[in-house]
A and B are shown apart, each in its own frame.
Chain A
């Protein structure tokens, strides 16, 4: 009897021991010393938390497939995320810099992927990255052209900085203006009212749009600048109505813009809301949050893949993987670019064969792969991703419109899933 129990216990013991080999974990697949990715992100805001989720998804996928091949060794990625809080009102830029430094010195980050998210903080962090010679791929938030212009102006100093998402210059000239011209042509609209947030990228973006749109036959009937955290837009909307605006161009990354859209609907302002950057409207939860009042709002999510489309074969695979893991579609700007940054970094490290910053910089400059939002290549002079309206040529953006509870991609034409519609109270 005792012998029988001994056998039963031994069998149970070996079965328990063998469980990990039957269901291999990610760690089991990816051996070796982890490569640490430090991610400074404003995690309380869309552009921070979606980036965090996307980076973790990519890392999980890569580790599950064995990790990164460095020389002949397989090494896993490890992510260290720290909250920069740089999208919050009144939080000084210095706080974000402390986070970047902490990631480098305390968390021993080998690479920085993600933010800082606010343009001002991202620009200030460049000197730190240069000081520590840390390769950084900016994936979310900061859209200021000053970022890549600084790299181009002082290449040797800032060569460790790359940006895999968009920048205002291209977005305005290559996406917003052509999209506005399409609206002008299709519906005969030509009066533009501009509403921007009081932050560097939005003020600059609003000015550039106003200048170029004005040159292209749009009449700018007004411009309002709102402090971060504004919760009432009624007077500005009435100004737009009085000025007979037909399109309201919105450039704001604060969540309170949902209020703007609710007020626009309640007041039945006869102008199409075109959110060039409008964090609130980007997210899948926007429809529910505005109880459908945000219908017809257009929004740019900067890169394809941040809303469902068939830009490349990888786009919907990414959308589905994200949806499977987090229970909702990719949420907005910063999602697909953060995801791709990890894959691009993996590719560069493998080609470089080591983690040495200069070698990885050189490899990143030679990146050429078909990603979630088109062909991924960096301009070797300024380390900005090369944009295009054709996914076979470069990184494509996405402008969608909320239609019947869905984010329908309407620009660029090569990846469009539907056409722009006007709200019923605008139709003559």
Chain B
């Protein structure tokens, strides 16, 4: 039972971490390697609003998410627009940006374990005899809400439909009057807000450390590669696969190999099915 409960928690954690990354790639074909840095900066942002500006928790969260949206949009408008279409340059630019953010935080003294966010609800319960704290239950709840919202948004909202249109066929979408750059800006903003949201939900479980940025990026990449780059349904399925395999590994093999699971998943996917479970990027090439 503990495998089921903690497997679900772990899977939703991974899904929350990765959904922003895969959304941006799926829509604008931009690999946002600053994703992990945005995750960390949100955590420190909320902490700063609470402890330095003495704002209440809810307002701090809203402000941080708005800020993330603006940063995401700004990154596209001022950095990525100049290298759009050059895949290697896009990766280098976003990775460098992420690195700069993380190292800037370290340089400014954001280190150690004094940076923590309060949990949304204190306490723990027993689920079928397995103890679990309420914050982890909230992770599951918010995970379901975010996934449902993203599905509704991309299926019933005009902007969401335009985003899907861009993802399916950029040229056809542009012929119908959809502005490619605006859609990319919106995608980057939403992707960054989702990175921030995952930080806000997951960071109260531990403490805010700069190194988390690198871990989040690796896990997001693993989830997206296994699920198929750009397919957020694939990403969610991949999050569940990796999440459960990680918990099974800890349970029956050794905690030691926990992180190996994600890296092994990347390698195996790239060897066996480079487009991932639901990716269509190289599907034709693979069939040929």
Contact = CB atoms under 8 A, between A and B. Distances in A.
A225 B211 CA distance: 20
A236 B250 contact: yes
Contacts of A255: 112-113, 207, 209
Contacts of B111: 43-45, 49
A49 B111 CA distance: 10
Given A45-B111, A234-B6, A255-B209, A224 B254 contact: yes
B146 to A, nearest CB: 20
Interface stretch (A211-219, A261-269, A404-412): A261-269
Interface string A263-280: 100111000000000001
Given A225-B255, A283-B113, A235 B209 contact: no
Contacts of A108: none
A200 interface: no
A266 B205 CA distance: 11
Contact of B124 (A225, A268, A290): A268
B255 A263 contact: no
Nearest to A48: B111
Contacts of A229: 211-212, 215, 259
Interface string B131-172: 111000000000000000000000000000000000000000
Given A226-B256, A229-B215, A44 B210 contact: yes
A268 B132 CA distance: 10
Interface in B58-72: none
B256 A259 contact: no
Contact of B255 (A230, A285, A289): A230
A236 B255 contact: yes
A188 interface: no
B247 interface: yes
B207 A46 contact: no
Given A226-B256, A235-B255, A259 B207 contact: yes
Contacts of A268: 124, 131
B22 to A, nearest CB: 21
Contact of B207 (A225, A233, A258): A258
Q: Max chain B CB contacts within 10 Å: which of A44, A49, A233, A291?
A: A44
B2 interface: yes
A267 B206 contact: no
Range for the number of chain B residues in contact with chain A: 35 or more
A88 to B, nearest CB: 6
Nearest to A90: B214
B207 A267 contact: no
A255 B255 CA distance: 17
A311 to B, nearest CB: 26
A258 B112 contact: no
B180 interface: no
B256 A238 contact: no
B35 to A, nearest CB: 17
Contact of A235 (B114, B212, B250, B256): B250
Given A258-B113, A289-B113, A232 B10 contact: yes
Interface residues of A, number: 40
A230 B258 contact: yes
Contact of B106 (A44, A234, A262, A280): A44
Given A266-B124, A267-B124, A225 B205 contact: no
B130 interface: yes
A190 to B, nearest CB: 24
B118 interface: yes
Q: Max chain A CB contacts within 10 Å: which of B111, B113, B124, B251?
A: B113
B102 to A, nearest CB: 11
B251 A235 contact: yes
B206 A262 contact: yes
B269 interface: no
B211 A291 contact: no
A230 B124 CA distance: 21
A231 B206 contact: yes
A227 interface: yes
A46 to B, nearest CB: 7
B6 A235 contact: yes
Given A230-B255, A235-B255, A263 B133 contact: yes
A49 B112 contact: yes
Contacts of A230: 255, 258-259
Contacts of A238: 2, 6, 130-131
A285 B112 contact: yes
A89 B255 contact: no
A102 to B, nearest CB: 18
Contacts of A267: 124, 131-133
Nearest to B204: A262
Contacts of A266: 123-124, 131-133
A89 B211 contact: yes
Contacts of B215: 229, 231
Contacts of A3: none
Given A256-B207, A263-B133, A227 B114 contact: no
A60 interface: no
CB-based closest 5 A-B pairs: A259-B206, A266-B133, A267-B131, A225-B256, A255-B113
Given A255-B112, A268-B131, A289-B207, 7 more contacts: A45-B112, A198-B256, A226-B258, A227-B258, A230-B255, A231-B212, A255-B209
30 contacts: A49-B112, A89-B214, A224-B255, A225-B255, A225-B256, A226-B258, A227-B258, A227-B259, A230-B259, A232-B205, A233-B255, A234-B2, A234-B9, A235-B6, A235-B247, A235-B250, A235-B251, A235-B255, A236-B250, A238-B2, A238-B130, A255-B112, A258-B207, A259-B205, A259-B207, A262-B205, A266-B123, A266-B131, A268-B131, A289-B114
Interface of A: 43-46, 49, 88-90, 198, 224-227, 229-236, 238-239, 255-256, 258-259, 262-263, 266-268, 280, 283, 285-286, 288-291
Interface of B: 2-3, 6, 9-10, 106, 111-114, 116, 118, 123-124, 130-133, 205-207, 209-212, 214-215, 247, 250-251, 254-256, 258-259
